[in-house]
Amino acid sequence: MADLDDIWAFLKPGIDHIMSNHEGLPVTDYANLYTATYNYCTSPVGICDRKSDDSSNRIGTSVASCNFYFKLIEYFTMHFVSMKQAVVSLQGEELLRYYASEWHRYATGANYLNRLFSYPNRHWIQHQRAQGKKEIYPVYTLSLAQWKSQFFYFIQTDNQKLANAVFHLIERQRNGDMIDQGLVKKVVQSFVSLGLDNTDLSKECLEVYKEHFEAPFIQATKQYYKKASEAFLAENTVSDYLKKAEERLREEEDRVERYLHTETREVLIEEYVKLTWDYFQPFLDFDQDEDLQRMYALLSRTSDGLDLLRKRFEVHVKQAGLSAISKLVGEGSAVNVDPKIYVDALLEVHQKNSETITRCFRGEVGFAASLDKTCEGFINYNAATGLSSSRSPELIVECADMLLRKNNKMAEEGDLESALDRVMVLFKYLQDKDVFETFYTIKFSIRLIDGVSVSDESEANMVSKLKKVCGFEYTNQLQRMLSDMSLSKDLTDSFKERMAQNHDDMDMTFTVMVLGTNFWPLHPPTHGFTIPVEIMPTYERFTKYYQSTHPGCKLTWLWNYSKNELRTNYLNQKYILMTSAYQMAVLVQYNRNDTLSLGELSAATAISKDILSQVLALLVKAKILVNEEKDQYDLNPGFKSKKIQVNLNQRIKAEVKAESSDVLKAVDEDRKYVIRAAIVRIMKAYRMMTEQGLIQEVIYQVSQRFAPTIPDIKKAIEILLEKEYMKRVDGLEDTFVYDA
């Protein structure tokens, strides 16, 4: 059996040929070398003298492979001697050409060599790595490791000689010179190839690339562009700079695509980022869309380059929103803010910045989220709302009420749909959607009762929009109210038809609305009311009819919401007076009297004097009555009006003033039950929860309607503990279990 020296003497000429040429051996020569290698590695061989090998592999075929492995290392050491001597005197591009040529020849040879020693690769080397000896490599990887340790580091330790030669070539290109880009790519690719991950050789490792090329390259790039940007900005505007930066970035991206690793791209942009941040606000203020687009294009190429811009965008939007409302309030009182102007001001800020996101930031979801977050802040709290988040819902409801009433110009011009959509834009940002719901329900009921809605279709359309955002439960009451109106119309028609069949002498203009007590935000008067004799027959007929058709149902007449038409017979000109039930009750007293005192009118109508005084004040203001003496009211025989139909039906101040405060009290009370219901529902589902977990889940569920406070939640928990819906778990602090 031939010994190692003899077999290596046979193999070395062929290996020299493989490692010194760009092509392999003839097939017959290659087969002879492979056979010789295989025969040696599979034959019994004496003890391997390499201390790194373990005792279990000191005899047999593994020893032969071990001998070959370390013989290869000795070969590579000698192979690099002449190459080291050659590069000592080389500089710049000449060095790069020699390095690239030798690298290509060496890497090609290493591939052939790897196949030649495929038997030890598959057996001894694979076994060694499986045993945890990660410093033992397959032959191709061993070749790269030897190039790195014996030749690459030899050049680089000379003041980063190889990398600096590449940087110098790239700088020449940046300055406008033509260079051999293929040469740069070959050299840089060797940096990437030399990275080795010992735990997983198939995994790309950029350790060498990052340490010996990327880090110094980025530093060199920063220095280059810092100097170039300072020189450019000294003679040009920031807008011109952004254009130049965009052009330069395209050049750098081209370099990345051509001969750099893609991870290098992001860092190159950072130098531009720092120089443009400070100009973001002026670009926004003066609507410099092109500059904003360029800035976004630059920063969007980095992982976190847009974060600061989003934060600054949030500040910009917040300031714009708060400023718009502050100007609106001005020196006046926030109480007297016009709802439509208020809504328009908020929408203008939202729309302008939303369009900026679309035009300049390509509709990026991060900027859209920033806009939503900021709008929620200034829409709920601003100069018009003060510290109360309930004021904004009220103003938005009042604006919607104006849009949905008759004689609205937008309805006449066909823009009502888009106007309602704009209201819904603000609605989605409201924290107190339950306040909006309550105020809207009240306004909605008044429009339906007074018959002043622009159309049933528009009302149903708005309810549908609210349902789409908040769900069926949120709009269930509104839909039931619409249903009641339809049923009431049918009821009135059937009543009139019955009266006509019975030939009853009844005023056929009579209309009644029978509304469900649980769905309408209506309350009976707190004082008495004497039904005038003029309408008593109709009242009695309908009451009798309803009781016959709906036995067991009780009617509660809401005179404070009723309205009437009165015809004047005491004047030369006949007028039709549109009145409330209270005004009607007062005026019909003058069918039998020309003058009456406050006390007499109160006794005749059963209306309390404080309410009656306000009713009379409206009639005096309209000049129907004359109040020349204190508490004495006379019918005005000289009443005149340019209109035949005179509307006297106005809500009294006491009702208007009480409405807002009553709504908020009702909302606060409802919230207590909503929180308790949420707690019970959650505990029933989870059975056991910690206090903190329960609080967070309640906030999550309830915040769709309003923002609950932690003290309110804790108070609700205590109440439910007292009512034994749940109890504390013994031995577990702040943990509850469902116990209902």
DSSP one-letter string for 672-705: HHHHHHHHHHHHHHHSEEEHHHHHHHHHHHHTTT
Secondary-structure class of domain 656-738 per CATH = mainly alpha
Domain boundaries along the sequence of the chain: 4-131, 562-651, 656-738
Position 297 scores a pLDDT of 82
- pLDDT band for position 272 (50/70/90)? low
Considering only residues 249 and 448, tell me which one the structure prediction assigns the higher pLDDT.
Answer: 448
pTM of structure: 0.69
What is the mean pLDDT of the segment spanning 1-13?
Answer: 82
Q: Where are the beta strands (DSSP E) in 329-465?
A: none
pLDDT, tens digit, 9 for 90 and up, residues 223-247: 877 777 777 767 777 677 777 767 7
pLDDT, tens digit, 9 for 90 and up, residues 217-227: 878 877 877 77
For residues 200-209, b (16+ Cβ closer than 10 Å) or e, as one string? eeeeebbebb
Position 271 scores a pLDDT of 55
User: Picking from 280-294, 370-384, 656-670, which range would have the lowest pLDDT averaged per residue?
Assistant: 656-670
Position 58 scores a pLDDT of 39
Position 349 scores a pLDDT of 96
Helix, strand, coil tally for the chain in percent (to 5): 65, 5, 30
Q: Running DSSP on this structure, what letter comes out for residue 567?
A: E
pLDDT for residue 653 is more than 70: no
Distance CA 378, CA 375 (A): 5
What CATH homologous superfamily does 4-131 map to? Cullin Repeats (1.20.1310.10)
Per the CB < 8 A criterion, the answer to whether 448 and 405 are in contact is no
Position 617 scores a pLDDT of 93
Per the CB < 8 A criterion, the answer to whether 404 and 362 are in contact is no
Per the CB < 8 A criterion, the answer to whether 652 and 687 are in contact is no
- CATH (residue range 562-651): 3.30.230.130
Position 716 scores a pLDDT of 95
Position 270 scores a pLDDT of 60
